[in-house]
Amino acid sequence: MELSCKSEYAMLALLALANHYTQGEPRQIRQIATEQQIPDRYLEQLLATLRRGGLVRSERGAKGGYLLAREPWKVTLLEIVECIEGLKTRSSATKSSPKTIESAIVREIWQEVRQTTHSVLQKYTLQDLKEQRDAKQQLNIMYYI
C-alpha cells in the first residue's frame, strides 16, 4: 500500500476526467498530461492500467480519448490506489505466515495500520475531490479580488 508518484498521477488524471464528466466527451492523454504536468508517455501506461482495472474506458482513433467508466461519486480513492499499486504486499505480509508469537503480534499491528489507511481512502470519492477542487478554486478567485 504505497502513496507513490504513480498513484498521485492516477488521481490527477481521474480528477481531470471527473471535472469534464458531464460533457461526455473523451479527453486525450496529451491534454491531461500538459494540464496536470505529468510525463505523457508515463501517463499512457497508467491510464492503460486504470482501463484494465475497469475505472476508465477508452475510445480509439481520431477524436478518441478516455472517459470515466462510472460516475465520479462511485469511484473511491481506495479503488484507484489498489488498481494502480496492484495489491502490493511488502514486508512478507501474506507469504510466510508468522512462526513466532511476537511476529504474529507485529502482523496484527501492521493489519491495523493497513485497515485505517484503507478506511481513509475509502471515505473519499472522485466527486469529493472535485468538490474540494471547486471550493479551492473559488477561494483563489476571492483572494485575487
Name 76's bridge partners: 125
**Sole window of 20-28, 42-50, 62-70, 132-140 interacting with a copy of itself (rule: CB under 8 A):** 132-140
Q: Does 45 contact a copy of itself by CB under 8 A? A: no
Question: What distance in Å separates the CA atoms of residue 123 and residue 27, rounded to the nearest whole number?
Answer: 27
Q: What angle do CA 42, 46, 52 make, to 5 degrees?
A: 145
Go through 64-74 and write b for each residue having 16 or more CB atoms within 10 A of its CB, e for each that does not: ebbbbbbebee
Nearest CB to DNA, comparing residues 43 and 75: 43
Q: Does 108 contact a copy of itself by CB under 8 A? A: yes
Among 48, 104, 105, 106, binds DNA (CB under 7 A): 48
Of 66, 49, 48, 44, whose CA–CA distance to 57 is shortest? 66
**Sole window of 3-11, 67-75, 124-132, 134-142 interacting with DNA (rule: CB under 7 A):** 3-11
* Residues contacting 86, CB < 8 A, separation 6+: none
Among 34, 54, 73, 91, binds DNA (CB under 7 A): 91
Q: Does 82 contact DNA by CB under 7 A? A: no
Contact residues toward DNA (CB under 7 A) are 2, 4-6, 28-30, 39-42, 44-45, 47-48, 51, 58-66, 85, 88, 90-92
